[in-house]
Amino acid sequence: MANRRTITGFSNPTVKFLRSLREKKFRKQSGKFLAEGLRLLTDARAAGRLPEVLVMATARDSHPLLDALEADVLAAGGEVLEMGPDLLAKITGKDNPQAVAGVFAEFDTSLAALDRSAARIWLVAQALRDPGNLGTMLRTGDAVGAGGLILIDDCADPFSVEAVRASMGAVFTQGIALARWDEFLPWLRGGPGQLVAASLRDAVDYRTAPYAAPCFLMVGNESRGLPAEYELACDLRVTMPMKGRADSLNAAVAAAVLAYEALARLDG
């Protein structure tokens, strides 16, 4: 059966291709990304996203979720690749013979693909560099019922293995858009939307701020925060108490505290 292959040999071009997806350059060239682990792949399937290629070990324990995934991938015209544990470890970077991985097509990441009326909360990150923070923001977005995450300027790649893993599956359920600031702002102003910055500048207490849906909550780069110009373009600048020595929170933490406050207030 053409859709089911056993791969042998480290120099096999398929193995090389799968390994290359750990690097952003090759993800962008191919428009594909890698997600690892049965839980993540099952979350993707539940969200209606199937891998184009499913990768697993020739000798493995049977698992009903994996069997279901395999059947769905084959039924959808996808490919199932089996290989020995050594090759699999080369691709997943993990010495786990139960490991599975899937190759997915990257999604449409244009602003035009977002339907702002679909959710009351949206997360926005500017120049976010840490893929773990990015994935955590996607995960938080899922939890608060956000529509998605808009990545402004040069952010970490949401399709990196680290970001996908930290998202705990939310990469498959949250909308994701990549845009420059001077694309994002006109898009935002082209419809309803309140832009809120986590800020220290001329800011109001985040507990009493007048949130309004659809509410776009924006956090800045891990080291530099948001550029002053971006903050000033916001409808609202909110601040969280800082009782200690530090003057900022982790970016993903700031987004989450703000998102849960907005959720409670918009729901209330």
Least separation in angstroms between residue 243's CB and a copy of itself is: 3
Least separation in angstroms between residue 257's CB and a copy of itself is: 5
Query: Which residues are near a copy of itself by CB under 8 A?
Result: 43, 46-47, 132, 136, 139-145, 166, 168-170, 173, 207, 240-246, 248-250, 252-253, 256-257, 260-261, 263-264, 267
50/170 with CB nearer a copy of itself: 170
Q: Is 240 helix (H, G, I), strand (E, B) or coil?
A: coil
Least separation in angstroms between residue 152's CB and a copy of itself is: 21
Whole-angstrom distance, CA of residue 266 vs CA of residue 248: 25
Whole-angstrom distance, CA of residue 207 vs CA of residue 19: 46
141/193 with CB nearer a copy of itself: 141
Per DSSP, the residues of 167-230 read: TTTGGGTSEEEEE-HHHHHHHHHTSS-EEEEE-SSS-EETTT----SSEEEEE-BTTTBS-HHH
144/161 with CB nearer a copy of itself: 144
In contact, 165 and 34? CB cutoff 8 Å: no
212/253 with CB nearer a copy of itself: 253
Least separation in angstroms between residue 189's CB and a copy of itself is: 27
The answer for 153, left when phi > 0, alpha when psi is -120 to 50, beta otherwise, is: left
Whole-angstrom distance, CA of residue 202 vs CA of residue 183: 25
Least separation in angstroms between residue 62's CB and a copy of itself is: 23
* Chain Cα centroid distance, residue 226: 20
191/241 with CB nearer a copy of itself: 241
